[in-house]
A and B are shown apart, each in its own frame.
Chain A
């Protein structure tokens, strides 16, 4: 088996269909969508298509959990102990088990919500962040950026379950949230430990984290305004080792990502890219 396993070869059965992030960014409907006032984008049971939106997000979580499992597993294998200390690898193995449970939980939750495996697309950009050749970058890109996003998403889903009175959803999300706080904390702790005497490496890792955060803000998916479906779960992020300045920075990154997406959509609309006449 090779070291560093490429994202396009992630093994899946025939139910899974993959899309690229560009497909979403260059969707010809984006510009027209931005002309609409859809009101609060927050996931709430009283919003239109709430069940479909919740199912779609749940499936996104499900494939994200698979990739988090795969990424943690690869970090166990890809590095020898000179690059990744024994204790770090133990943490990654522990994360494997946790993510494996999260996949199990997500499958059950998907069924509970009337969805099924492979109902929606999968994009592999979570795993892509787990392919960096420096373990500190992986821990920043995956554990701090992506698992941080998982904290925000699980918190949003938990609130959705709470408002809807869905006891199963709220129960499951709360358990997963507890695990994700642990994973983000692993990222924060290892970043500190491994870069204590290497500020340059720390900066590189934090820069990588910012890049991943920006990609994953998905043009306004996560933020702190009404237009963002998923909000920053500041309380849980604090528990996981984020400070206030970092979280403020993240809100800025998300705003920037949203502005970029709007500009891109406008450019795409001007340049054509539509179907039919």
Chain B
């Protein structure tokens, strides 16, 4: 057995975490505030839609996903004070006016025959954007200093990936005609355009790069 008094390296050979990260405290907090804002809008929307959706399986899935996003919002709400933001509401903000416009458009459909439009907004536009922004944050932030955010990101990402897949499968089961394909594509293009204007759920730089020319799309 090894002598317990023998000094060991603080980082095991396989632990390759590095100190530097792309975000300082304020930037990580800003992003987390954006995440909380968008997750809140998302869970509210899913909750509101439940009553408007006639397909029983979709209704139940949205009820479940509603809670997932509320829980993510709660994770971010709890993380904000740890990032020196003692008033979480101050940072619970949309990244910009364009993301507000996106959310307004996302939650617009109400009629019972618009399930495809509702699901496309969430599972073909917003969910992939959340996955992208969370993945970028996870990969870019300091794996030592911002580890608590990373832990929450991983939990949220697990849900996002599962829910995205489930939503996509629901869509595939609903899109069964050329006309439905057209509807889904049209809806995706409309919302994607708005999302590109916003630059992602955390604004331009959601993925670390800012495409000025892309932000001008539409």
Contacts and interface: CB of A to CB of B under 8 A. Distances in A.
Interface of A: 1-2, 5, 9-13, 66, 69-70, 72-78, 86, 89-90, 92-94, 96-97, 99-101, 103-104, 117, 127
B59 A69 contact: yes
A137 B107 CA distance: 26
A73 B60 contact: no
A93 B64 contact: no
Contact of B50 (A9, A70, A90, A94): A70
B155 interface: no
B44 A77 contact: yes
A104 B56 CA distance: 10
Contact of A11 (B68, B70, B108, B112): B112
Question: Taking chain A's interface residues, is the majority helix, strand, or loop, or is none over half, making it mixed?
Answer: helix
A72 B47 contact: yes
A11 B66 contact: no
11 contacts: A1-B49, A1-B110, A11-B112, A70-B50, A76-B43, A76-B44, A77-B47, A86-B73, A89-B44, A90-B71, A93-B67
Nearest to B110: A1
A117 B110 CA distance: 24
Contacts of B50: 69-70, 73-74, 96
Interface centre among A89, A100, A104 (most CB of B within 10 A): A100
A77 B45 CA distance: 6
Given A77-B47, A97-B64, 13 more contacts: A1-B107, A11-B112, A66-B59, A69-B63, A73-B46, A73-B62, A78-B48, A92-B47, A93-B67, A93-B70, A97-B67, A99-B63, A100-B60
A76 B39 CA distance: 12
Interface centre among B40, B53, B69, B70 (most CB of A within 10 A): B70
A74 B26 CA distance: 34
B74 A76 contact: no
A232 to B, nearest CB: 29
Interface of B: 40, 43-56, 59-64, 66-71, 73-74, 77, 107-110, 112
Contacts of A66: 56, 59
Contacts of A92: 47
A11 B64 contact: no
A76 B69 CA distance: 12
Contact of A96 (B56, B66, B74): B66
B56 A73 contact: no
A76 B47 contact: yes
B161 to A, nearest CB: 18
A66 B107 CA distance: 21
B66 A70 contact: no
A103 B60 contact: yes
A47 B63 CA distance: 37
B176 to A, nearest CB: 16
B48 A93 contact: no
A76 B73 contact: no
B100 to A, nearest CB: 14
A77 B103 CA distance: 13
Contacts of B112: 9, 11
Interface centre among B40, B46, B48, B73 (most CB of A within 10 A): B48
Contacts of A5: 48, 51-52, 110
B16 to A, nearest CB: 37
B52 A1 contact: yes
A73 to B, nearest CB: 3
Contacts of A11: 51-54, 59, 112
A12 B54 contact: yes
Interface centre among A11, A99, A100 (most CB of B within 10 A): A11
Nearest to A2: B110
Interface centre among B46, B53, B56, B68 (most CB of A within 10 A): B56
A174 B64 CA distance: 21
Contacts of B74: 90
B67 A94 contact: yes
B77 A74 contact: no
B49 A73 contact: yes
A100 B64 contact: yes
A101 B62 CA distance: 11
